[in-house]
């Protein structure tokens, strides 16, 4: 057993100290999920945009959002890499999702990026979440077979954060002309 009291690390405070973005992403996941699949035509407000970009800062919560966008009956919970297989939807397999819901979610991800890009205080701390939101928006485009839009969104995400894994994945699929294989 490893002594967690050495080197000043102890208890839950360690989690908050070393992983603040992941904690914030987890806390805002519910609000982000609600904003992305809301059934109205109203644009997202500033708080909703912040919730989306904050929740998209961590890949685990972003994959939770992806599952929820595809099927709102699935609770928006972070993906657990040690206990779960990748969501089938990530790879474009499984039952075809509601196209309108996925399109709206993708557009709302882009709206969150636009709000950040046009705000006076484009903080460097927000980069991962903003790129994550754009990457999720690119996946939404890819999932609805809009390859050109997916490619554009993925490139913008990589302009914000060149290391974003979801944007790299979607861009690679677009370059390889690999589309989703949904079943009816």
Residue 71 forms part of a structural domain: yes
> Element (H or E) spanning 11, and its range?
helix 11-18
pLDDT at 175: 97
pTM of the model: 0.86
Which range of residues forms the domain containing residue 64?
Answer: 20-176
pLDDT tens digits for range 23-56: 888 888 999 999 999 888 888 899 999 999 999 9
Q: What are the CA-CA distances from residue 51 to residues 44, 124, 182 (Å)?
A: 10, 17, 29
Rounded to the nearest 5°, which phi and psi values hold at 149?
A: -65, -40
Residue 84 lies in a domain: yes
What tens digit of pLDDT does each residue of 92-140 get?
Answer: 999 999 999 999 999 999 999 999 888 855 566 678 899 999 999 999 9
Number of compact structural domains in the chain:
1
115 occurs within a structural domain: yes
CA distances from 9 to 4, 20, 21, 22, 23 (A): 6, 15, 18, 18, 17
Tokens of 182: 């949904």
How far apart are the C-alpha atoms of 70 and 65, rounded to whole Å?
A: 9
The dihedral built from the CA positions of residue 136, 56, 78 and 176, taken in this order, carries a sign that is positive
User: Does any domain span residue 53?
Assistant: yes
In this structure, is residue 133 part of a structural domain? yes
């Amino acid at each position: 057993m490893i002594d967690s009291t050495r080197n000043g690390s102890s208890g839950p405070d360690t989690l908050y100290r070393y992983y603040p973005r992941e904690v914030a992403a987890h806390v805002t996941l519910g609000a982000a999920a609600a904003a992305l699949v809301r059934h109205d035509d109203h644009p997202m407000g500033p708080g909703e945009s912040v919730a989306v970009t904050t929740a998209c800062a961590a890949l685990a919560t972003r994959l939770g959002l992806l599952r929820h966008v595809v099927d709102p009956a699935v609770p928006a919970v972070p993906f657990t890499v040690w206990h779960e297989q990748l969501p089938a939807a990530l790879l474009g397999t499984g039952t075809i999702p509601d196209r309108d819901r996925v399109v709206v979610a993708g557009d709302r991800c882009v709206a969150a990026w636009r709000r950040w890009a046009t705000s006076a205080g484009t903080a460097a701390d927000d980069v991962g979440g903003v790129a994550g939101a754009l990457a999720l928006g690119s996946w939404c485009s890819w999932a609805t077979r809009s390859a050109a839009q997916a490619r554009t969104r993925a490139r913008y995400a990589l302009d914000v954060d060149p290391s974003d894994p979801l944007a790299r994945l979607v861009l690679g699929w677009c370059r390889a002309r690999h589309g989703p294989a949904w079943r009816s």
